[in-house]
Chains A and B, each alone.
Chain A
Amino acid sequence: MSTFIDGLSLGAIYALIALGYTMVYGIAKMLNFAHGDIIMVGAYTILTTLELTGNPYLAIAFSIVICTISGVVIEKLAYKPLRGASPLAVLITAIGVSFFLQSIAQLIYGSKSRPITLPDFGKMSIGSQEINVNTVITLVVGGIIMAGLTLFVKKTNTGRAMQAVSEDKGAALLMGVNVNRIIMITFAIGSALAAFASLFYLMQIPSITPTLGSMPGIKAFTAAVIGGIGSIPGAMLGGVLLGLIEKICLSIPAIGPYTTAIEFSLLIIILLVKPIGILGKKIREKV
C-alpha cells in the first residue's frame, strides 16, 4: 500500500515533467532535452533562496519565476533561430543547452552534492497505514495543477490557439494565431511545471547535484512517450504508470538493482510495439 502511494507521488512528479516535454513536442515539434535541467535550475534556486532568506514559500515562488524566465530565454536564444532547420540540428542544440546549464551550475555551486531541507510536515495515518504528508501534498497539488492545465488548454483562447498550433502551424498562422507567442507561452508553462516538479522532487531526495535533472528528465520523457507524445492526458497516464513501475520494481529485492534497465527496456518495447504510445495520435508522413 505505501509502495503504491509512493509510486503515485513519484508518478505525479514524472507526469509534471512529462507534461513539459509533451506540450513542447506537440507545439514546437522538438524534443527539449534541456527540460530536465530546468528542474535542476529550480532546485538550485530553491536552495539559494532558502539559504539567503530561510522562507520556503518565497523560495518556491522564486523558483517558479526563475524557471519560467530561463525556459523562455532558452527558447529565444537557442531554439528560435533554428525554426525551420532540420530536427537533427534542433535536437543537438537542445543537448548543448542541457550541457550548458549543467556546467554553469557546476561552476557556481560545485559538483559536490549540497544538502537541502524543506519543511517536513511529518506523517499522517490513513487507516493502519502511515504516509508522509509531503507525499500527499505532492499528489494533491500535482492533481490540481494537471486538472488546471487541462482546463486551460480546453477552455481558454490561448489554450485553443495552442491546440491549433500543434495541429497545423501554417493554418494556425493564417487564422491569425501568433505562433511565436504561443510557442513562448508553451515553454513558459512547461518550465513553470518543471519548477513544481523540482519542488516535489526535492521533498523526496536529501541533497542536490548539478546533474540531478538529467535522470528524471529522461525518465519523464520515457513516460511521455509511453503515454503518447503530444497528448496531455497521455503524459499524465505515462508518468503515473512509470512512477508505479519504478517503486514496485525497487521494492522487490531480486530485480531492484535493475530498475533503470527495466524502465528503459519498457520504453524500447513500447516504441517497437506501439510507436505512438498509449494515447498518441498517428501522424502520417507526407512527401
Chain B
Amino acid sequence: MSKYISNVKKQFKFKHIATWASVLLVLIVLIILNGAGALNRSTIGLLSRIAYSIILATSLNLVVGFLGELSLGHAGFMCLGAYIGTFVASLLRNVIDSDLLVLILSMLTGGLVAAIFGFIIGLPALRLKGDYLAIVTLAFGEIVRNIFKNLEVFGGAMGYPSKTYKAKDLFIIAFVVVVIVLILIQNLIRSKHGRAITAIRDNEIAARAMGINVTFYKLFVFVIAAFFAGIAGVIYGHYTTPVLYTTFSYNYSIEILVMVVLGGMGSINGSIIAATLITVVNFLLQSKLSGDLAALRLLVYALILIAVIIFNNAPAFKPIKERLSLSRIKAKKVEKKKDIINDDAAEWNRIETKINVDAIFTPDLPHRDEVDQDGTEDSEKEGE
C-alpha cells in the first residue's frame, strides 16, 4: 500500500510541476519572441484566445472531470466576468492611472462576481444531480444572457463597448494568469480536498459515509470553477470589443465541454492541449470556412464528442480499449521493475519472524467443516 502511495506521489509531483512549468517555458519563449518583434498582430490575438480557453477548459474540467457533475453554464459565468470586469475597468480607469493595476483589479472583481453566482447556482447543485443539474446550469446561462441583453447600463442588445487592452501586453498577463490558475488547480487536486472531490465523483454515498462533507465540496468546486471562468471572461472582455451577449450562448458552453472531453475528463494536461488545439483550429478555419460551411466545424465537434464518449464508455469497446491502452504497457514495465522497487510489503515478507502469526490471528474456533454443516442445517430449519 505504502509502495503504491509513494509511487503515486512521485508520479504526481512530476506531473504537477511539468504542467505549469511547461506553460511557463512557453510563455518565456513567447516573451522573447515578442521582444524580438517576431510575433505579428493576429498571432498575439490568438495567444490571448488560447490563454482564456485554457482557463475555461481546466476550470470546467474541475466540475466535469473531478466532481463528476455536468455544468452547461460555463459560458454564463464567463459572460458575467466579461461584462462586470470590463465595466469595473472602465470605472477604475478614472481613478487609477496604472493600466496593469486596473486589469488585475477588474479580473478580481469579475472573478468574484462570477464566484458569487457560482455559489448561488451551487446551492441547487447540492440537491440535484446529473441531468437536473445540467439543465439548471444551462438555464442559468440563458438567464444571464437574457438579463444582460436588456440592461441599458451594459449597452443592451448592442453589447458593452469595452476598452480593449493593448494586445501586446495582454497575452503576457493572460499567460501569467494561466500559470497561476494551473498551479492552484494542480495543488487543489493533489491535496486532501482534491481527493475528497474525486471520492464524491466515484461514489457519493460512500464518500459521505467516509465523513466527507459533500455539500461543502460541491459548492467549493462550483465557486472555484465559476471564479476562474469569470477571470477568463474578463480577459476576453479586454481582448474583444464590444462584449456581446450572443457570444456566450449554450453553444459556447458546449465548445468548452468538447475541449474537456477531447482532452480527457479528469486530465488537466489533456484540457490544456485540447483547448490549445481547438482554439488554433478555430482560428485557422475562421477565415477559410465562411458562411454556412462554418457548420462543418460544429459537425466535427459533434462527431468528436460522440465518438470519444462512446469509445471510452461503451461496454462493447472495453476489450479493444484495453488492448490499446497505455496503462497495460505501463503495467508491464512496472512488473519488470518490481524487484528494484523498495517495497515495504516485500521487506516485511523477507524478515523472518519467530512468531507464528497464523496462530495469533486465528482464534480457537471449531473445525471449519463442522461450522459449515451446522450453518446449513440451521438455515434449512429456518427455511422450513
Contact = CB atoms under 8 A, between A and B. Distances in A.
Contacts of B261: 92
Interface of A: 25, 30-31, 78, 81-89, 91-93, 95-100, 102-104, 106-107, 110-111, 210, 214, 218, 221-222, 225, 257-258, 260-261, 264-265, 267-268, 271-272, 275, 285, 287
A102 B298 contact: yes
A95 B257 contact: yes
The 9 closest A-B pairs by CB, nearest first: A96-B305, A106-B295, A264-B139, A100-B302, A99-B302, A103-B298, A85-B313, A31-B131, A89-B313
Nearest to A102: B298
Interface of B: 64, 68-70, 72, 123-124, 127-128, 130-132, 134-136, 138-140, 142-143, 146-147, 149-150, 205-206, 250-251, 254, 257, 261, 291-296, 298-299, 301-306, 309-310, 312-317
Given A88-B69, A258-B147, A275-B127, 8 more contacts: A87-B130, A92-B305, A93-B310, A98-B302, A99-B251, A107-B295, A222-B139, A267-B136
A82 B309 contact: yes
Nearest to B133: A271
A148 to B, nearest CB: 28
Contacts of B251: 99
Contacts of B314: 81-82, 85
Q: Chain A CB within 10 Å — which of B138, B150, B309 has the most?
A: B309
A260 B124 contact: no
Judged by DSSP, the binding face of A is helix
A10 B274 CA distance: 42
A275 B296 CA distance: 39
B257 A92 contact: yes
Contacts of B317: 81
B302 A268 contact: no
Given A95-B257, A97-B306, A222-B139, A85 B315 contact: yes
Given A104-B299, A106-B292, A287-B205, A93 B305 contact: yes
8 contacts: A81-B315, A82-B309, A96-B303, A103-B299, A107-B295, A261-B147, A268-B136, A272-B124
Q: Chain A CB within 10 Å — which of B143, B149, B250 has the most?
A: B143
Judged by DSSP, the binding face of B is helix
Given A81-B314, A85-B314, A264-B142, A271 B127 contact: yes
Q: Chain A CB within 10 Å — which of B124, B301, B313 has the most?
A: B313
Contacts of A99: 251, 254, 298-299, 301-302, 305
B143 to A, nearest CB: 5
B250 to A, nearest CB: 7
B215 to A, nearest CB: 14
A81 B303 contact: no
Given A82-B313, A100-B299, A103-B296, A93 B142 contact: no
A110 B304 CA distance: 22
Contact of A88 (B70, B150, B304): B70
Nearest to B301: A99
Given A82-B313, A222-B139, A91 B127 contact: no
A242 to B, nearest CB: 12
A86 B202 CA distance: 11
A84 B315 contact: yes
A83 B142 CA distance: 30
B143 A261 contact: yes
Nearest to A106: B295
B292 A111 contact: yes
Contacts of A85: 313-315
